[in-house]
């Protein structure tokens, strides 16, 4: 089993008025040259958690971080006009929190971040600020959203 200590949260950049099935997500990733969906888990708008890639297999979701991470994506991330927005439903929020909690308990997770938080710290101040983000994914602040998340002492979130 590979060493896993990081969870990376993503959005699929799907408009809130459109649906993206797990099969369509898999097909999109295969068209990009991946050997299946790059995320390990996919959370649908109704809160359904879909297993997309075995956790024992490295993902294809965060360049430079795939070897030691688990990728979770949620359906959405764009408003009806195609602009980046936090479009998560209450069901998605709940499912993401539960999934993160379970993964923290099952693995020695040290950190949970949004994909945008893995952007380079261009000014070298130790903080990846909004003007340094390469992309907006996942369209919300993961650290603030999961701040109350506890892993029963087995992991330390957010650094």
Domains of the chain: 6-145 (3.40.80.10)
Q: How many other β-carbons are positioned within 10 Å of the β-carbon of residue 21?
A: 12
Give the tokens for residue 154. 């087995």
Question: What confidence score (pLDDT) does residue 132 get?
Answer: 66
Q: What global pTM score does this model have? A: 0.88
pLDDT for 120 beyond 70: no
Compare 158 and 18 and report the one with higher pLDDT.
Answer: 18
**Helix, strand, or coil (residue 97):** helix
Q: pLDDT higher for 110 or 127?
A: 110
Please tell me whether the peptide bond between 137 and the residue prior to it is cis, using omega within 30 degrees of 0: no
DSSP string, 74-91: ES-EE-TTS-B-----HH
pLDDT at residue 124 greater than cutoff 90: no
13/130: higher pLDDT: 13
Residues 11-62: pLDDT tens digits? 999 999 999 999 999 999 999 999 999 999 999 999 999 999 999 999 999 9
């Amino acid at each position: 089993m590979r060493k896993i200590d990081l969870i990376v949260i993503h959005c699929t950049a799907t408009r809130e008025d459109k649906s993206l099935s797990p099969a369509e997500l898999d097909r999109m990733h295969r068209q990009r040259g991946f050997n299946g969906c790059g995320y390990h888990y996919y959370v649908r708008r109704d809160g359904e958690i879909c297993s997309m890639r075995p956790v024992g297999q490295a993902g294809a979701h965060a360049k430079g971080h795939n070897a030691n991470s688990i990728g979770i994506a949620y359906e959405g991330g764009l408003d009806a006009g195609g602009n980046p927005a936090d479009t998560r439903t209450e069901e998605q929020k709940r499912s993401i929190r539960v999934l993160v909690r379970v993964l923290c308990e099952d693995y020695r997770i040290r950190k949970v971040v949004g994909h945008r938080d893995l952007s380079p710290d261009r000014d070298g101040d130790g903080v990846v600020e909004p003007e340094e983000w390469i992309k907006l994914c996942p369209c919300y602040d993961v650290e603030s959203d999961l701040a109350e998340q506890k892993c029963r002492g087995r992991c330390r979130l957010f650094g």
